[in-house]
Amino acid sequence: MNELLKTQFPFAENILEGKTALVCGASKGIGRACALILARAGAKIIACARSNEELNQLKDELHGSNHEILVLDLENIDDVRKVISDIGNVDIVINNAGGPPGGPLLDNELDDFNGPFARHLHASHTIAQILSPGMEKNGYGRFVNIISTSVREPIDNIGLSNTLRGAMGSWAKSLSRELAPCITINNILPGFTDTDRLGSLASSISNRTGKSIDEIQDAWMNSVPIQRLIDPLETAIAVTFLCLPSSGSIRGVSLAVDGGRMRSI
């Protein structure tokens, strides 16, 4: 288990006891870290992803017991609607899914938008429609969306991702004005985080530009004041903070966990 999780866990281990958290994209990266931290805080985890094997590996590492796994492709909205309708009461939802491939926006055909928008925006909206009435009835609900700093500052060579993240940010802000007072929705904007996704983007840029992966990563780190990649568990700690009962007044915000990279206020 990561040293950060063992030695620097900042919340009481029972602070989310009695709460159930649906964590999408939980098999790897930030989603996996969110499942680990939320379980450590006492929540029952329903870990959702496409890989049964990776979900079972995660389940074995989660603190506590009674956790569940849910094999689901978020691009299949009919399946999302059917499965989530049968899931029962959920108090916390972490909307998280893999980002689209990199590349210039003009290189994307219209069909390229369908899958990413389905597994992010359409799935998140469907989940919110189904689960928010139960949250309102129970007097507690938290939605946290894992999106990107490109909501504020579009990033070169990931045009489709920039477009998608902006849509997610606007969707969440609009919904924050409509949800019941006991339900919050907020966004986390990850920066350069130590995940497979970042490695894939570096390879994509290298193939297009001829620059080495080391050159690309050095350029990234030179733009980050902390001069290192962010541990996914650091991001998950910020996510967990937004899920706490004491965070009920934080609503409709986009919190950057980017090591200070963004220049905007």
CA distance 181 to 94: 19
Give the model confidence (pLDDT) of 84-94 as tens digits: 999 999 999 99
Identify the three-state secondary structure at position 51.
coil
pLDDT band with cut points at 50, 70 and 90 for residue 197: confident
Which amino acid does the sequence have at 150? S
CA distance 155 to 198: 13
Around Cβ 93, how many Cβ atoms within 10 Å?
28
Backbone angles phi, psi at 22, to 5 degrees: -90, 120
Is the pLDDT assigned to residue 209 strictly greater than 90?
Answer: no
pLDDT confidence of residue 223: 86
Q: Are 179 and 245 in contact (CB under 8 A)?
A: no
Whole-Å CA distances, 208 to 154, 198, 199 = 19, 16, 15
Q: What is the C-alpha to C-alpha distance for residues 44 and 123, in angstroms, rounded to an integer?
A: 21
Q: For residue 143, list its beta bridge partners.
A: 93, 185
Q: Model confidence over 1-29: pLDDT tens digits? A: 466 666 678 888 899 999 999 999 999 99
Q: Please tell me the class of the 11-199+232-257 domain.
A: alpha beta
Is the Cα dihedral 167, 169, 172, 175 positive or negative? negative
| Cβ-contact 36, 236 below 8 angstroms | yes
DSSP string, 152-166: TS--TTBHHHHHHHH
What pLDDT, in 10s, does the model give residues 118-172?
999 999 999 999 999 999 999 999 999 999 999 999 988 899 999 999 999 999 9
| pLDDT tens by residue, 142-155 | 999 999 999 999 98
Q: Which residues contact 64 (CB under 8 A, 6 or more apart)?
A: 39, 42, 44
CA geometry: angle at 252 spanning 31 and 15, to 5°?
Answer: 55
Rounded to an integer, what distance in angstroms lies between the CA atom of residue 84 and that of residue 131? Answer: 8
Q: Give the domain ranges of the chain.
A: 11-199+232-257
Question: Is 43's pLDDT higher than 60?
Answer: yes
